[in-house]
Amino acid sequence: MSRRALVICCALVLAPVFAAAPAGATPPLPGERIAPAITAGGVDVSGLTIEEAAQRLSGAFGPRLAQNVIVQRADMTFRLTAKGAKVRFDTLTTAKRALYAGRDRPAPAVPGAPPAAIDVPLAVRHDQAVVRRFAARVRGRLHRPARDSQLRIGVRSVRVTHSKRGRTINAAALARRVGAALDDPRLTRVFRPALIRLRPRVNANQLRRRANTVITIQQSTFTLRLFKGLRVVKTYRVAVGQPSYPTPRGLFSIASKQVNPTWSVPNSPWAGELAGTTVVGGSAANPLRARWMGIVNGVGIHGTNQSGSIGTRASHGCIRMHVPDVIALYRRVPIGTPVLIR
């Protein structure tokens, strides 16, 4: 036994912290010895006084109980010291348990038969809160969250990133196993907890199906691109908002669709005498021709009878298209379609 382990064990013998005697039991008598066929943690203490038994137990288990707990996984090693876990081995209380167990053992049913063997538990304790924090720290270092596939949209290209599985461990199970090992020197103190694989919520195939249709609008070139299956299948020339009424920039989605839409006229000087009014769909005074695909805050994609405005900054923020183009686009674009405007 190392000097350090011996000092720890001996100190603990002088300060027992566990109840050993059954209620009403007579204290150990001077020179009283433990009955035959009695073990403590598997170590034979038969015929020994409690002081002799305590010394034997200290020699048998002290060094083992002073060893570190080691957790190894994913090329990482974690250590929990017995001192840090506040391990307490009360050898004197363990010896008394053996003495009282021998006293209370029933006599053999058959006269002359050997007494029944009894093994008493070791009086070992630790701070399980420390163990739980240790297990949580191990999990924190080993944990890798799953990575979902993501849709990366640029005005000229659309791609899907690959998902990646994550990993974690069952910290509660590890804490239970470590706690049991701290209390029982016969158990291993080296652990390799199972890695639990974490599945991503969204993989690339799911996202491709979900984002089969994408629209991008590049204001600098007045170009609307329609993507199907991550590939450009059609480009259209469009008009966008005037400098005073700019088309918003950002990632949005198609929020609504309407054939021959009603026009809720913006209450601004741009609308002239119609400002703040409502114009029914199909009316000659309604500039929203044929189809409407709403995006955000009253801004949408629509047809126009002002074909000369296509390729310019002419609208009140909306995206204008030639009427045949907007009708063709409308059929191919479901509600919820992502729309990137740059």
Q: Which residues are catalytic?
A: 302, 318
Residue 307 per-residue DSSP state: G
Residues in CB range of 254: below 8 A, 6 or more apart:
215, 293, 294, 295, 333, 334, 335, 336, 337, 339
Distance CA 211, CA 172 (A): 39
Strand-strand pairing, 213-218 and 223-228:
antiparallel
Q: How far is CA 222 from the centre of its chain?
A: 44
State the DSSP H helix or E strand holding residue 323, giving kind and residue range, or none if neither. helix 323-332
* Structure tokens that stand for 335 in this block: 């509600």
Contact (CB, 8 A) for 319 and 312: no
Degrees, nearest 5: CA angle 112-117-118: 140
Helix H or strand E segment including 224 = strand 223-228
Torsion sign across C-alpha atoms 270, 273, 276, 278: negative
The answer to whether 169 touches 134, Cβ cutoff 8 Å, is no
Integer Cα distance of 154 and 217 in angstroms: 10
